[in-house]
């Protein structure tokens, strides 16, 4: 497999992971918005931590995709 094809496949997988993480992030934020007042404070804390972690993962996957795109441009 050529290097360009391998990088394209990696970008494809990163798009899938990115989409799943975005959907998860939106779901967590929606849950927090609906249950912020009625949820147990521990649940709210865990949900906030999860939003922070998933958002960080979104940013990381985005950066990895841009790195792969830059590698593809350099070929």
Q: Could you tell me the residue ranges of all domains in the chain?
A: 3-74
- Going by C-alpha positions, the residue among 62, 60, 28, 34 that lies closest to residue 47 is 28
The model's pTM is 0.87
Q: What pLDDT is attached to residue 1?
A: 65
Q: How far does Cα 66 stand from its chain's mean position?
A: 14
H-state helical runs in the chain: 3-35, 41-74
pLDDT digits (tens, 9 = 90+) for 13-55: 999 999 999 999 999 999 999 999 999 999 999 999 999 999 9
């Amino acid at each position: 497999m050529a290097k360009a094809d391998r990088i394209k496949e990696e970008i494809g997988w990163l798009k899938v992971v990115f989409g799943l993480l975005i959907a998860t992030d939106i779901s967590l934020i929606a849950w927090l918005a609906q249950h912020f007042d009625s949820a147990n404070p521990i649940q709210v804390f865990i949900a906030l931590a999860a939003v922070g972690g998933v958002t960080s993962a979104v940013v990381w996957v985005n950066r990895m995709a841009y790195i792969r795109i830059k590698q593809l441009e350099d070929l």
